Structures are given as structure tokens and as C-alpha cells.
Structure 1
Amino acid sequence: MQMHIARLEQARTSLTGSPPISSDRRSMGVEMRREGPFSASFGATSDLLIIRHVGGEMAADVYYSDRVYTRTLAQGGVLVVPPNSAFRLRVGETGINLYAALALSRGIAGTRSPERRADLSRPLMLTSDEVLDGLLDMAKDLFDLPMGAGSGMLDNLASTILSHLASIQSERSDDRHHVPPNPHRISSATVTRALEYMIGNLDRSITLSDVGRHVRCSASHLGRLFKTHLKASPHRYLLGLRVERAQLLLAATRLPIAHVALECGFASQEHLTRHFRRLSGTTPAAYRRAQGET
């Protein structure tokens, strides 16, 4: 089941000098806007910003580390603005832009080492990236829910997005400097791909072997990688993702709980209830009632 509950703002032709979005005490902030034409400069923020543009071309200048990064973003392209970087955008026609702000200071998994942080310290432009597009769309749906609903899954998505971007930057850097592959970076990228596969298949009864085949890794080795990078087994992590998706559906839809269970990859309502109570301390029915009272 795919939900699209994003809200589009009205078109506007003038923007303030403050950043277009912030994480605002969460791991990630996401907003979609219909806007343009406009030309505006924005101040630096501690968040890493992602801008996905649909509608004509967008010209961008990013000011970072005493340098200027100038690019023209084609329709459907993505611009990544590193933290503490001012930037300027110029759009010639009305289009739909998605803005995402990710809070690096919150200790996102997979970006703590100096090497990984360095991978996110430079601007990045992508002409297209289906994985990133899917993660951003899912994050937008989650962010539109009431505060608290789906927050754990939003944290996981933020972590996955940052690791995915760091991997792209690392690959480009290796291509430029012919650096031999780093085993730690490869293992971290394997965990990222495994998380992407899990998140994209929460409605299916996938096994650890399925995940391992997708990332071309044995189940036992994948288990060791998860323990190293995420401090949890793949099975425990997948259960957490399923319960968080159930929380999202319980808060945002009127689906019967039995249907919610199937949408989240559980065999039955009883199967969902058992794990839901164990991980969240309450039942799906009680959780839904509490969300309706807020």
C-alpha cells in the first residue's frame, strides 16, 4: 500500500533569505512546494539539505569551504547542499520542488566516522536516482503524520538516505583518485542496501536469506554486519520496521487491524499484536485509540 498525503503549497515568486526548511528537532524535515519562477539566496544551516526539482531547469550556486559549486539541475534532478553552506537558486518556470533537511548532529548510523562525514561535506548533483526518489517519497508521507507517529521509521529513513549519499560521494571520489576499496565502507554500503530492500518490502514475508541474496551476502555475514553497524540482528531490525509501519497505518488510515498486519508483512492480526505489544508496550487497537485522542 502506498500513501500520498503530501500537501503542496501555492506558487510563490519571492523567498526569504533563511533556509527553505529545517529538521526542526527531528532527524529529518521534508516539504513539497509548488513554486516559481524565482531567484533567491539562502543562508547556511547545520542541516544537510536535499532539493529535488521537477519543472524546467534550476540553476544553483553552492558556497562551501571558500569555493563555489555551480550547476544546472535538469528536471527530476537532485541537488545536495552540505551543512554550513549558503546557496542560491534560480528557477525560470513554475514547478514542484521537494526539500529535505537531515540533522547530521543527531548521530545518524553509518555517518559517524570522519571518513563518512567527509563524504557529505561537498555538494552533489544527481540527474536521477530511483533509490533516493523512493526514500524521499516515503519520508514525505511519514513526515506529514502527527508528531510521534512513524518517527522511528523516519529516523531509519534518514539514516539510510545519508548512508546512500555518502556511498555515492565515496564512489565518485574513488573514481577520481583511484583509491582501493575500503572494506569498512563496503560493509556499510551492504547494510544500507539491505535496509533499502527491507523498507521496500515491508508488505512481504521476506526472510534473512532473501535479504542476503539481494545484497549478495550470506545470511550469517549479514547478521555480523548488522550487529557491527546497527547493534541489532537483521531479524530484530526488520521486526522494528514492520511495527513502525503498522504504527503509521494505524494512525493515518482506517484499515482493519487484520489488514494492517498483512500490509506490514505479519501472518495475522495475532502475529502483529504479539510483536507490537513487545516492542511498543501496547496493542494495535490501543495505539490507534490513543492517536485518535491527540
Structure 2
Amino acid sequence: MAHGPEFSVEDTHSFLEAENMDISRTSLGLGWRRAFMSVQREGPHKMHFRARSDVLVNVVNSKTVKGRITVDGQDYPIEGGPGTITIVPARKPFDLVLENTVDTTHLYIRRKVIDQVISSMFSEGKRDVEIKFCPATYDPVLEHLCSAVRLGLHEASRASAQYVDLMLHGVAAYLVRNYSAADLSTEGVAATLTERQVLRTREIIEARLADKITLADIACEFQLSSDHFGRLFKRASGVTLYQFIIRCRVDRARTMLAETAMPIVDIAAECGFADQVHLTRAFGRIVGTTPAAYRRSRRGS
């Protein structure tokens, strides 16, 4: 059994004191120091919950939840079936109105577990990462992670408590990655794109000029977040990805104007412009003349 005080009921929001709570299992007596978990059928009820020092993850196990939660004076609906997740950050009081009966799991994670994960993910000195409030989102990955922690409720042993500690780090890492403002992509990676990556970016764009191209589409090719790729690309090329795409489209239009007799309106569509007017504006800004004038000049007329 793990040494040290357990994570007690007094450290939670006191859900167990709410009306219509039928508790089927808790982590009390299992030696959990870094988390508290309860499994219950709850509601309907209406309560105010004062701020606590740790993070709460509420998972709907079965039935459909219906209610609302008030945080920082703003009401948020809570509706959804199994797998619906609500996350309450540390130091955040709230009011909850639960309108029906629903089966849930409550998982509290010590803030110091979050801090340990942050320390392992980020360079030294980055300690201000906060988990965000999130009402009623469907997240099957987080649901399965919480279900894995629930396995530890069935055995009071040192091995089981150690298993729970390991799983909690996984849950905490997932929360930091997906429910905080942290940008993991900036940690431990290159400060700019290589020349080959810039060339590859152009290849991808030119292969899809007639289609809608988004920053997310290109970033995915390099397994980077959109924001991080956008910063790296501008640092490497001196222009934003959007500006670069427009230049690629104008370059293709120049070639087609000089080498084909295709109508300008068709060239605009072929190069991914919304219409001929869009092409003309971009062409004039980059080339300094109109598509028609450019075609005449290239043909010597």
C-alpha cells in the first residue's frame, strides 16, 4: 500500500453530500494519494460547489445527462450520452443543476500530478500551464483513460495503487495536451523549416492548386500543429503560408497565360482562385499588371 495520507472526501467538492446520490464504489481505503474516484448514480440535484485545489473530470457512464453548470457567472448546458466529459479546473467554484438521473464517474487528480507532467513535457521554468474548464464534450479517449483508472478500484494493494499512479500521469498528460493552452509542438523541435521542407510544402501546394488548401492540411503532412507550422514557415520563407499559396497560384497563372489560349476565367478556376476578379487582383499586386496585359506582352502583341 502506498505511504502517506489518502486523497480524502474532504478534498473533493463534497458531491457525496448532494441529494439523490447512490454511491456504488469509491477509492477510500485503497491507498490512493494522488487521486480520488467515485462511481455513482446521481441526480436530480442542485448545488453550489466551492473551489478546490485539484482537477475534476466527470464522466457520464450510462444514460443521457441533462442539466447546466454555471462558472464565472456564465451558464453552460450539459447534455450528452455515455462518454460525455466535463472538466472543472483547480480553484474554480461552480453551480450545478442536474435535471435527471445519470450514472457517472468522478475522478479528482492532484494538481501536483499535473505539475509533474508539465515539468516533464516542457523546458525548465514553464510552470504556468492551466487546465481549461470544459463543459459536456464527447471525448472517447479520455473516457477510456478514466475507465483504465477505474480498474484500480477493485483491489487494495501496493501494486494496484502504483498502477493507478502510472495511469494518472497518462490522464494528466492527455489533459495538458488537449485541455490547456500549452503548445507542445514548440518543445524540443527545430526553430525553422529545412530547405527540403519548404520545397516539399511547395510540391504539396502545386499538386492541389485547384483545391481549397488550409494551414491544417499542410501542417498535418509534417505532423505539426497548425500554429507551430505557420510560425516555422514564415520564419523560413519570409511570408505567411496564405501569401505563399497565392504566389504559387499566380506563378501557375503566368505560365498558363503565356503558354495556352485558355480563357482567363478558366485559368482562374484552374489555379484555385474564386473567380477572375480574384485572380486579377492578386496578379496585379504581385506581377504589377493585369492577366490580359501580361498575356499580350508575352505574345509580343
- Please report the TM-score for the alignment, with normalisation by the length of structure 2: 0.46
Structure number with greater Rg is 2
- Please report the TM-score for the alignment, with normalisation by the length of structure 1: 0.47
